[in-house]
Structure 1
Amino acid sequence: MVPRLPRPSAPSAPSTPTASGRRAARATGTAAALIAVAMALTGCFGSTPDGGELGDGDFADDGCTSVVVATSSEKVNMLDALADAFKESPQHEQLDECATVRPINVSSGDATRFLTAGGDWPDDDARRWPTMWSPASTVWTDRVAAAASPSLVGEPESFTHTPVVFGVPETMAKALGWPDTEIGIADFEALCQDPQGWASVGKPLWGSFKISKTNPNTSTTGLSAILMQSYEASGKTSDLTAADVAAAAEFSRVFEECVIHYGDTTGKVLTRLYDETQNGAGGSGYVSAVALEETSLLNYNQGNPDSHTVQPGETLTPPKEKLVAVYPSGGSMWSDNPITVLGADWVTDVQATAGAAFAAFLQTDAAQEILPDYGFRPLDAAAPLGELFTTEYGVDPAGPAVTLPKPAVDVVSAAIDQWTQIRKPSSVLEVIDISGSMDEAIGDGRSKLDGAIEGAQSTLGHFRSSDEVGVWAFTTGVESQAGKNIVVLRDVEPLASDRESIDASLDDLRFAHRDGTPLYDAIAAAYDEMIARAEPGRINAIVLLSDGQDTDSSISLDSLVARIGASAREGGDEAPVRIFPIAYGEGADTAALQRIAEATGGQWFDASDAAKIDLVFASVINNF
């Protein structure tokens, strides 16, 4: 069943807030929270899972009160339909003036950081500042209430829910005994720990067992997954404590070893898997199991892997092999999807009243009947789920058998802190284009190179001292031990306490020689360097930034893709090196960078707005 198409809308602009006194909780913002915001602004300004920007759409005045709802991407289509239905509801009729509800895409973790940091909502256009917030889980509203102020998040109330599951390609799931055999997180952990990988269940050609998870700092699914791991290790189905989380450290560390790379959304991983499936390849070469919400799995199986906003006239093509939902035998967390009117200074009384009316409408039968059409479950477990919730679409309407309750705020914090320490280690080489075009201005008093330097510098706080970090730059007319046209600012080695020296080395690039763009040669040299030193048990990666097209390489794009693609296939399963290109500025060759990323199982990122490169860097770095 294809989801209902969203309506074209034109919500009105709220009155522009004053420049001061935005939030009562501002004084409680901490320095750590401000740093976290700087690292996680991609929900507002970088590429979203559907390839758009926050607030894309028509915000022209339609004569009605504008009620903007900040929500995660998978709910945008559904909230759009609910907004239509709200216009015809008794709740809307009771308002003194009409209201237009407009959902915009902001990840739950990013919105949490914006709200706890204090100050204005980080968007230059005040028309897009939210009246309401609908994160995927009340875990996030609880964190804002604890870190900032309970009044800021108002009174969140769940209006729909969806369980966190593991999506497994159907052929692989059957090899594990699905659907007749219960499968738990401990079974996945055993496959991770077994050096034979898939061979331990009679499938030697499938290689190692690979898991995809999102970063728990920005993703509800990633956060739920680490809590489910602690539940599994403790043997509990309720009353999880911080001590339980601490005791689960080794179990979770082994589980994390199977992770191919992290990310800020499941959409990017699912899109990669979908593309492989449609091109005739199975999923075994890329990923074996994806931690995701049931609704995202339903979207994938309909042909919408990134849960983007379906446009009028768009046709969805289901994947050649569907994912099936494995509901872990030890239990699943649920994303309970609250909605609340924000107690922020920019929310007017009229907007708050309209928002409260919309929240009340979401609890009605008329609203609840719409939810299953979009892959979400109504609050009433006895309500009919409709034709999407069937084995045809990979789900079990009776699952999960065990529900794991949301732990206390201190337990959630302990789990996130633990993940920071036990997550899979990284070995990352950042490769920066310093060709002549990098001198171009980006409109905010900086050059492209300034933005690239500051973006790279902002990532350093993400890495642990034990993570390996290297930095290269490339242009014509330079040379180093790494080869012609390459400058080595730092060899790939443990970061230790070198953050300040790397900062200084990056600053030195402002005065570097700048000439041509030997893009493909630089990638080939970097890939050879990383393949030679890649180790199993690490995320081995290249982060590449280029603002233009190749002009000076001795190797062609086709030859480069064939070379790195062959290396990735031949013996690269245990220690793959993935490339994460950032297409920087309007002149970047996005098609070429996308091919390079896909050849290695990496992802490419769109930074066509060069002024926001530091924010795109933050999105990229969530993979490590």
Structure 2
Amino acid sequence: MSRRSEREESRKRRRRTSRIVAATVAVVALVGGVGAVGTAWATGGLGEWMDPTAECVEPIELTVLTDRAIAATVQAVAAEYDASETACSHTEVVAQESADTAAVLASGNATDVDAWIPDSPVWLVRMASMARSLGRPVPDIALERSIATSPIVFAVPVSRAEEFAGRDLSWKGLLTDEFAAILPDPEASSASLNALQSLESRVDIAQPRQFQNAMIRLNAEVPANADAAFAALSVSDPGTVAIASEQQVALHNRKTGADPLLALYPSDGSLALSYPFLRLLDESELAKNLPGADEQAGDADPESAELARRARELGALKIALWEATARFAGDGFRDGLGGGELEQDGVVEDPVEVSSAAASAQVAILRTWGVVSVRSRILTVIDLSGSMEEPTVSGQRRIDVLQQAAAATLSQFSGQVDLGVWGFSTLRAGAQDWESLAPIDQLSSDAHRQLLNEVIASLPTRLGGATGLYDTTLAAVQSVLESYDPAKVNSVLLLTDGRNEDENGISGEQLLAELAALQDPERPVPVTLVGIGPDTDLESMRRIAEATGGAAYSAARPEDLTVVLNDALSQRACRPNC
């Protein structure tokens, strides 16, 4: 066997066993050693408790994905742990944006990972929401306490600090447009998402659109990351700040030749980035190791022995990370509880008081941001077949639920979105299965927005016919391509409650072949399909989505349509790559 084959086989063996670490420890504890095992696990000494004379013959290979901001520090701590006398491990630390890791985990393509350290617990919720929307099982991940934190601040150039002398900067002031801010893309920046939550929590209940208006202002310039935001500060209007974490400011100030920054702390408090330690588990393998699952294995089972070793190494690495407060402080991070002193240029030494972020609230904010912010051209194609008359469990008809969701979504779009509407069913316009109800045009036009509201209001009066899904999908993609705008995200959003019923139109296989022929990486037109109710043909929808780089979503309960619709729209900017 080649060395490469040996490595692959070794990795396969360890993947079969790595997911059941927690269950193995739990079973041992339940069987008879709760106190002793619990103490050994908490102190990182489980290996010695089980076999104090164990010799490290073959190191356990651990793979840890971390947010880029903290990867270098985690790598240093992991290397020190691997080199210690008590360790028997080799840890690979992979730096990756938290947004990318969440997408990979949701898609089921991260089977070789032991732990994940994102820059916010909200990524766990976002990953789960994404997996459900894609119709995939949610990965089983254990959330443990954070290894580091970093408050959200307003960053300003030291050279322009006089512009802020004597000023009281607060989230409330930013919400009411007392000063300008540069906000890195919240789709990728947890610092920005925390900032948006801070803004939302200070909205005046008498002004319900205050938060949305603030998001539209912040959307005027959305750099990709903190470094781009800091660069934009040098050419910004006087009194402009950049949203960032305290650690990002400290890191910037250590760069040679960088214009130093000063962290200004919001007078009305702030949230903080939090870097939790997440252990990846596998339910199917956990089940195999519950009591009684394998009565013959016993203490001599090689897999159980390796599981115990993996438990010890992963647990001890976690403890090492929790205890490495001085090293994290040296890289600009507060400790996992928000405390600790920093000796970093541009930030205060003593810890500041912060509040905890609410993951569910941030997911909802991100959906709203996605709808409001993305510069896009969308052709919305709505099923007007007779089955849309059928009632839902709430008593409302399917078309009523769709109408309400469409109106709510339209109200959130900014003027940077171009939107058009088609209706479809069999024989909608002569032999044609579709008809244009409103052309694709800018929502910045009051007349066009009014037209769209009128179209949405008229939908219940337009029902009839069967579902002409395949011909309509092809025609919609062709129509968007004919008027393609390379400066925007061009896409088709199709909402249906059924399956193709046009016996005189093209087949599913013909549709996929036609869509494949239209594909152009330079001019992508992803089709996002949303199934409404229990009767949709999700398999065909997924095949269409895959052929165009889009996605298929299911609102099995029509009353969930608004949430699913916002999820679908909030991810349109990353298609076809997410």
Q: Structure 1 length normalisation: TM-score?
A: 0.48
- Is 1:328 the equivalent of 2:288? no
Structure 2 unaligned regions, length at least 5: 1-6, 21-56, 286-305, 379-409, 420-438, 456-471, 491-520, 523-547, 552-570
Q: Is the 8 A contact 2:151 2:245 kept in 1?
A: yes
Distance 1:361 1:139, change over 3 A: same
Residue 169 of structure 2: aligned partner: 183
| Deviation for aligned residue 1:218 | 3.5
Work out the CA distance in 2 between the residues paired with 1:286 and 1:356: 50
Choose the corresponding residue for 1:413, options 353, 363, 376. Answer: 363
Q: Which moved more, 1:224-233 or 1:345-354?
A: 345-354
- Is 1:373 the equivalent of 2:330? yes
| Deviation for aligned residue 1:377 | 1.4
Distance 1:247 1:335, change over 3 A: farther
Work out the CA distance in 2 between the residues paired with 1:80 and 1:157: 19
Choose the corresponding residue for 2:348, options 396, 406, 409. Answer: 396
Work out the CA distance in 2 between the residues paired with 1:331 and 1:166: 12
Q: Is the 8 A contact 1:138 1:156 kept in 2?
A: no
Work out the CA distance in 2 between the residues paired with 1:89 and 1:295: 28
Residue 11 of structure 2: aligned partner: 15
Q: Is the 8 A contact 1:253 1:424 kept in 2?
A: no
- Is 1:468 the equivalent of 2:417? yes
- Is 1:86 the equivalent of 2:81? yes
Q: Which has the larger radius of gyration?
A: 2
- Higher RCO by CA contacts (8 Å cutoff, separation 6 or greater): 1
Work out the CA distance in 1 between the residues paired with 2:339 and 2:246: 18
| Deviation for aligned residue 1:222 | 2.5
1:330 maps to amino acid = D
1:111-260 matched pairs, under 5 angstroms: 111-117=101-107, 119-121=108-110, 129-142=112-125, 152-177=140-165, 180-191=166-177, 209-215=180-186, 217-233=187-203, 249-260=209-220
| Deviation for aligned residue 1:232 | 2.8
1:358 maps to amino acid = L
Q: Is the 8 A contact 1:152 1:344 kept in 2?
A: yes
Q: Secondary structure at the match of 2:203?
A: helix
Q: Is the 8 A contact 2:106 2:127 kept in 1?
A: yes
Residue 93 of structure 2: aligned partner: 103
2:364 maps to amino acid = A
| Deviation for aligned residue 1:425 | 6.6
Q: Which moved more, 1:495-504 or 1:79-88?
A: 495-504
Task: Percent identity, please.
Answer: 17
1:133 maps to amino acid = W
Residue 478 of structure 2: aligned partner: 504
Work out the CA distance in 2 between the residues paired with 1:501 and 1:467: 25
| Deviation for aligned residue 1:63 | 5.9
Residue 248 of structure 2: aligned partner: 296
Work out the CA distance in 2 between the residues paired with 1:287 and 1:259: 18
| Deviation for aligned residue 1:134 | 0.4
Residue 38 of structure 2: aligned partner: none
1:250 maps to amino acid = Q
Distance 1:259 1:360, change over 3 A: same
1:257-336 matched pairs, under 5 angstroms: 257-262=217-222, 265-270=225-230, 272-273=231-232, 282-284=234-236, 288-303=240-255, 317-319=256-258, 321-336=259-274
Q: Is the 8 A contact 1:264 1:619 kept in 2?
A: no
Q: Is the 8 A contact 2:183 2:192 kept in 1?
A: no
Distance 1:19 1:85, change over 3 A: closer
Distance 1:507 1:384, change over 3 A: closer
Work out the CA distance in 1 between the residues paired with 2:331 and 2:198: 25
Q: Is the 8 A contact 2:152 2:245 kept in 1?
A: yes
What whole-Å deviation, never above 9, does each CA across 1:586-623 have from its counterpart, x for those lacking one? xxxxxxxxxxxxxxxxxxxxxxxxxx9999x977789x
Q: Secondary structure at the match of 1:378?
A: coil
1:404 maps to amino acid = S
Residue 277 of structure 2: aligned partner: 339
What whole-Å deviation, never above 9, does each CA across 1:352-397 have from its counterpart, x for those lacking one? 5432221121122xx2221112111124666443x32xxxx21112
Distance 1:19 1:325, change over 3 A: closer
Q: Is the 8 A contact 2:262 2:347 kept in 1?
A: yes
Work out the CA distance in 2 between the residues paired with 1:82 and 1:22: 21
| Deviation for aligned residue 1:411 | 2.9
Q: Secondary structure at the match of 1:289?
A: strand
Distance 1:106 1:467, change over 3 A: same
Q: Secondary structure at the match of 1:336?
A: strand
| Deviation for aligned residue 1:294 | 1.2
Residue 400 of structure 2: aligned partner: none
Q: Is the 8 A contact 1:172 1:288 kept in 2?
A: no
Distance 1:190 1:411, change over 3 A: closer
Work out the CA distance in 1 between the residues paired with 2:238 and 2:311: 46
Q: CA RMSD in A?
A: 5.0
2:210 maps to amino acid = E
| Deviation for aligned residue 1:170 | 2.9
2:196 maps to amino acid = I
Structure with higher helix content: 2
| Deviation for aligned residue 1:22 | 12
Work out the CA distance in 2 between the residues paired with 1:159 and 1:292: 19
Work out the CA distance in 1 between the residues paired with 2:319 and 2:58: 22
Distance 1:382 1:338, change over 3 A: closer
Q: Is the 8 A contact 1:133 1:339 kept in 2?
A: yes
1:109 maps to amino acid = A
2:11 maps to amino acid = S
Work out the CA distance in 1 between the residues paired with 2:236 and 2:213: 22
Distance 1:346 1:298, change over 3 A: farther
Distance 1:264 1:352, change over 3 A: farther
What whole-Å deviation, never above 9, does each CA across 1:477-534 have from its counterpart, x for those lacking one? xxxxxxxxxxxxx98645979997652246679xx9xxxxxxxxxxxxx9xxxxxxxx
Work out the CA distance in 1 between the residues paired with 2:207 and 2:90: 49
Work out the CA distance in 1 between the residues paired with 2:239 and 2:94: 30
Q: Structure 2 length normalisation: TM-score?
A: 0.51
Residue 65 of structure 2: aligned partner: 70
